[in-house]
Structure 1
Amino acid sequence: MAVFVALGAFLMTLVGGWTAQRVTDRRHLVLGLAGGLMLGVVGLDLLPEALHAAGDEVFGVPQALLLFVGGFLAAHVLERLLAVRQAGHGSDERVPQVGLTAAAAMVGHSLMDGIAIGAAFQAGGAMGLTVALAVITHDFADGFNTYTITSLYGNERKKALMMLFADAAAPVIGAASTLLFTLPEELLGSYLGFFGGALLYLAAAEILPEAHHDHPARSTLLCTAAGVGFIWVVVGIAG
Structure 2
Amino acid sequence: MMAAPVLIATGATVTTLLGGWVAQHVGDRRHLVLGLTAGLMLGIVGFDLLPEALATNETETFGVPFPLLLFIAGFLVLHITERCVAIHRAHEEEYGPHSHPFSAPHHHGRASSDTPVHGLGIAAAGALVGHSFLDGFAIGAAAQAGGTTGTVVAIAVISHDFADGFNTYTITQMYGNDRRRGIALVVADAAAPLAGASVTLAFTISEHILSAFLGFFAGFLLYLATSDILPEAHSPHPTRATLLFTIVGVAFMWLVIGLAS
Relative to the length of structure 2, the TM-score reads 0.88
**Does 2:73 align with 1:76?**
no
The answer to whether the 8 Å contact 2:84/2:103 transfers is no
Identity across matched positions, percent? 55
Aligned pairs (5 A) from 1:79-158: 79-83=82-86, 84=100, 87-90=103-106, 91-93=111-113, 95-158=117-180
Aligned pairs (5 A) from 1:1-239: 1-83=4-86, 84=100, 87-90=103-106, 91-93=111-113, 95-204=117-226, 206-212=227-233, 213-239=235-261
Amino acid at match of 2:219: G
**Pairwise CA distance, 1:88:** 2.4
Q: What is the total number of aligned residue pairs between the two structures? A: 238
* Structure 1 stretches of 4+ moved >6 Å: none
**Higher percent of residues as helix:** 1
Amino acid at match of 2:63: G
Amino acid at match of 2:250: V
**Pairwise CA distance, 1:150:** 0.9
Residue 51 of structure 1 aligns to a residue in which SS?
A: helix
**Pairwise CA distance, 1:125:** 4.9
**Unmatched segments (≥5 aa) in structure 1:** none
Relative to the length of structure 1, the TM-score reads 0.96
Residue 87 of structure 1 aligns to a residue in which SS?
A: coil
**Pairwise CA distance, 1:86:** 6.5
Residue 201 of structure 2 aligns to a residue in which SS?
A: helix
**Pairwise CA distance, 1:127:** 1.0
In 1, distance between residues paired with 2:149 and 2:39? 18
The answer to whether the 8 Å contact 1:107/1:170 transfers is yes
